[in-house]
Structure formats: C-alpha cells, structure tokens
Amino acid sequence: MKATQQLKEEHSAVLLMLQVLEKLVDRLIEGDRSSAEDLPAIIDFLKGFVDRCHHGKEEEWLFPALEAAGIPRQNGPIGVMLQEHEAGRSLIQDMVETLDVLEAGESQVALKEAAHNYIQLLRTHITKENEVLFKMADIKLTAAQQDELYENFERLELERMGAGQHEEYHKLLHQLMEKYGLNG
Ligand SMILES: [Fe+2]
Ligand SMILES: [Fe+2]
C-alpha cells in the first residue's frame, strides 16, 4: 500500500467518526442527555487517532517529504494544512471544556458550536488533502519514497499508540456507528 493510501483510509475512518459526533450532538439538542456519556470516548479518538497519530504522520513525515520534493510550506498548501491542524486542536480543547458545563446540566450550545466547527473544519481539510495535496504527493514522490514514508508511519503509530490501539479505535468507531444508527 502507498503511504498516501494509508492516510486516505484513515480519513475514511475520521469521516465516519464525524458522522457519529454530528448525530450525537443532534440527540443532545433533542433532549437525550444520555448521549453525552459517549463524548469522552469520541474526544479520546479525536486526540489519539486523529491528532496524535494521523496528524503526526502528516506533520512529521509527509509534509517534510513534500517540502523536500519542492512543495512550499509558506504561502502554500502545507502551511494551510498545518494551520488547520492547529485550529482542530483548539476546537477539541473547546469541546473538552464544554464537557464540564454539560455535566453541570448547563446549556449545550457551546458544545454544539465547537463540535459543528470541528466537523466542518475536518471535512473540508480532508477533502483538500485527498483531492489536492495527496494527488501532488503521488506525482512528486517516487515509489521508494512512498515505501519509506509507509515504514515511518508504521513506526510512529507503534510509538505513539502502542500495539493494538489502532484496532481498539476501529472497534470503538464501529460500536458507536451501530449505536447511532449509521452504516459504514
Ligand atoms: Fe491533515
Ligand atoms: Fe489528513
């Protein structure tokens, strides 16, 4: 498998979790407060699978390889992707902060806003990567470079998450998809 293909497959999993989050927020707004119990697990997925692992692969390995291949960081697509990763981190933090508010039985408006902003940001970010950046990568990188990236991705995943954690996150995703009536 190409390194870019591995990232695209991770994008598919991320998009499914965004659908779960969207559905959960809808249920909360409709008055089903019990849905809030799944938020910590979803936030853990967004921090662990999406940010630490997936964005880690992009920031530490893919983007530097693309820069070395002549794609500029400043005023170019890589700079934009990095800014969007940062914006995502800060929206995850906003969601974490609204959890305490929810527990106190207060308004769900702040959570709804942070979650919707995060979902929208990540969806457009993933489209840009799949449709623009990864296409550029597939043109610029040789097969040997893709292989090397793939190996580095695998190592990063093992170091950041530990053996078996990737599968645990997929298990969580599928459990939640079933619970929220989504068919992947
Ligand atoms: Fe990204
Ligand atoms: Fe990505």
What is the Cα 11 distance to its own chain's centre? 7
- Print pLDDT tens along the chain (184 aa): 899 999 999 999 999 999 999 999 999 888 888 888 999 999 999 999 999 999 999 999 999 999 999 998 888 899 999 999 999 999 999 999 888 777 666 668 888 999 999 999 999 999 999 999 999 999 999 999 999 999 999 999 999 988 899 999 999 999 999 999 997 5
- CB 43, CB 129: distance < 8 Å: no
- CB 131, CB 147: distance < 8 Å: no
If you measure from the C-alpha of residue 36 to the centroid of ligand 2, how many angstroms do you get, rounded to a whole number? Answer: 27
If you measure from the C-alpha of residue 128 to the centroid of ligand 2, how many angstroms do you get, rounded to a whole number? Answer: 9
> Which amino acid is located at 50 in the chain?
V
If you measure from the C-alpha of residue 141 to the centroid of ligand 1, how many angstroms do you get, rounded to a whole number? Answer: 18
Q: Is 75 left (phi over 0), alpha (psi -120 to 50) or beta?
A: left
- The pLDDT of residue 140 is 95
Q: Which ligand is nearest the CA of 126, by number?
A: 2
Please give the model's pTM, rounded to 2 decimal places: 0.94
- The pLDDT of residue 32 is 86
CATH fold of the domain at 3-179? Four Helix Bundle (Hemerythrin (Met), subunit A) (1.20.120)
Residue in 111, 51, 114, 44 with CA at minimum distance from that of residue 84: 51
- The pLDDT of residue 49 is 97
- CB 138, CB 4: distance < 8 Å: yes
